[in-house]
Structure 1
């Protein structure tokens, strides 16, 4: 029986994404603070604090029953693990995936930090490991490993993190990490390990996911069908099954005209020359999201029905987890939860 589709929204780690370059929500840019109206007499420096805006995004996802949120690793933005902790603290049902890279801490510390979060949030934390960073970004984070060594370390990181999580008295002597008689005791033992999200299409990435991923995330524009086939074969050889996901920007509206009017408006605000390009006739993906502030170039634009049809195309390829990115995050999260996701009620009912 097919798995039920699940959806997550992407939490912005800098600014609010209402317009390219506009970042005054959450006090991200002090020079862009909106002045307080005269009737506000308390000593706030601006209209909101960083935590206020992020909490609103998480609350919107929970109220609109999106189900989950991804806080991506962003070397220039807020720390994803801290943001995830805040979102878990102020929600009751929201699943939160925190992005980080394996060089951020020892696997024992990352596991201990996460065990406390799992205990406080009743098992709603997930991990997304960003392994193959741009070399300049990696060095800026104090990480000078390159090439295949990054995947070797990530594998050992996950092996050790799972080892101390599940086994009292755990010992490990490896290339990157050593642990002697470690392992968690009550109350941090016996908790569900964070659901591990990985990505990438390189052979090393697929090998790592085959051994450790719960969900392998593709990016819109990658050859998803080929990736699913290759990883399924590798995972089967390891005696495991991996779920498949997709990170994709979306701009969905009531009809096509409204959606493309929104694209043209954002294109102009970004100062991009000429008219925005149309979608790729072969894939249906629009290539301009990076220009209007998205994290990746390719995504889905159109009516709610058109965007839902694009997502169903990936469902047919075996993808069941969809990480949607839409800006501005608060307003668009409500749109997605209230207008787009109900179009998948039949898929969810068929599974259950």
Structure 2
């Protein structure tokens, strides 16, 4: 069996009524733990609940699942982020993993008075992450950086060594891959259509991808198309987001949507961008029979992929279907 890490994704507060959200987070966390996931990505942006508070809900609902907290440097000082990690460890004896952001929605950043350009945002996240991780390692940190200046800074309570976080960062652009190397983070990319994959996919890196699979191909596509129906308003929103975005992964996926080809080997190409094109989610999907989707997962594994970040699961049953795909690909839950 191949050793990989699989993360699910937490529901967003904007998609769930307030009175139901805490339960939705807890339920999804329990499903993810039952399915054998390492952790669960918790998003952040200007329009949803704070990821650190949501992550505490994840921790209290589970026994071992690690929240993968999206950390936006514009939102808080690196000392504050480090303190969140160590405080949650102190209170609960649990690990929190970190998904370091360099961007996000550009209009969110502009609303916060941050016009920093794409590559400079990655340089800022690198500086931020190095301070944060130094504090978590128990170092006394002094740094005269471009964005942060700290002097003899030390963290308390200290973080036990066995609860040090895994760190992920977007690695779709050269700046992202360079930041991952400088931080020691896992670079996460949005995969291109099968057969058109990049030659520079980083060994030990990860992919962000959704999965819908069933024993029968037609059933898998039926489920996928019912979950993500064509939506004209969503297509317009996608087009507007593209115009406002300087994200290279967003541009790469949109280009892939224009060039995707359908195979003629008796089963449709599993790589599907319908949800992305209709502004329903922000990753490609793999759709088809267990064996066909498992072959796609095996393709990514052969490239050196060792982390998979899945989309928001609608149910425990759906995670069980995904688990069957990974089992057929030789991945241990």
TM-score bracket relative to the smaller structure: 0.7 to 0.9
Aligned residues: 303
1:281-319 C-alpha deviation (Å, 9 max, x unpaired):
367411212256642352200122222221111001000
Partner residue, 2:239: none
CA contact (8 A) 2:212 2:220 kept: yes
Change (3 A) 1:5 1:159: closer
In the alignment, which residue of structure 1 is the partner of 2:328?
343
Take 1:291 and 1:14, find their aligned partners in 2: how far apart are those partners?
A: 22
CA shift, 1:3, in A, is 5.4
Cα drift, residue 111 of structure 1: 0.5
Contact 1:75 1:141 in 2 (8 A): no
Q: Secondary structure at the match of 1:325?
A: coil
Q: Offset of 1:189 from its aligned partner? A: 6.0
Question: What CA distance in whole angstroms lies between the structure 1 residues aligned with 2:25 and 2:321?
Answer: 17
Aligned to 2:285: 299
Contact 2:102 / 2:122 at 8 angstroms: preserved in 1? yes
1:8 alignment counterpart = 7
The answer for unaligned runs of 5 or more in structure 1 is 16-22, 29-47, 233-242
Q: Which residue of 1 aligns with 2:244?
A: none
Q: SS in structure 2 opposite 1:226?
A: coil
**1:286: which partner in 2?**
272
Matches for 1:112-191 after TM superposition, within 5 Å: 112-188=83-159, 190=161
Residue deviations 1:184-211 (CA, integer Å, cap 9, x gap): 2454465643211011332221111111
**1:120-167 CA distances to partner (integer Å, 9 max, x unpaired)?**
444521111120334312122443322332122111101211222234
- 1:251-262 → structure 2 map (5 Å cutoff): 251-262=212-223
Structure 1 residue 280: Cα displacement: 3.6
Give the number of the structure whose alpha-carbon radius of gyration is greater: 1
Residues 1:55 and 1:155: Cα distance change in structure 2 (over 3 Å): same
1:60-79 equivalences under 5 Å are: 60-79=31-50
Counting only pairs closer than 5 Å after superposition, residues 183-262 of structure 1 correspond to structure 2 as 183-188=154-159, 190=161, 192-221=163-192, 225-228=198-201, 231=202, 243-262=204-223
Contact 2:213 2:288 in 1 (8 A): yes
Aligned residue runs from structure 1 range 83-98, under 5 A: 83-98=54-69
| Distance change >3 Å, CA 212–CA 267, structure 1 → 2 | closer
Moved over 6 A (4+): none
Q: Which residue does the alignment assign to 1:18?
A: none
Match of 2:276, SS state, is coil
- Residue in structure 1 matched with residue 226 of structure 2 by the alignment: 265
Alpha-carbon distance, 1:69 to partner? 1.3
2: CA distance between counterparts of 1:137 and 1:49? Answer: 26
SS at match of 2:30: helix
TM-score (norm 1): 0.75
Equivalents in 1 of 2:156, 2:162: separation in Å? 11
Q: Provide the secondary structure at the position in 2 that maps to 1:104.
A: coil
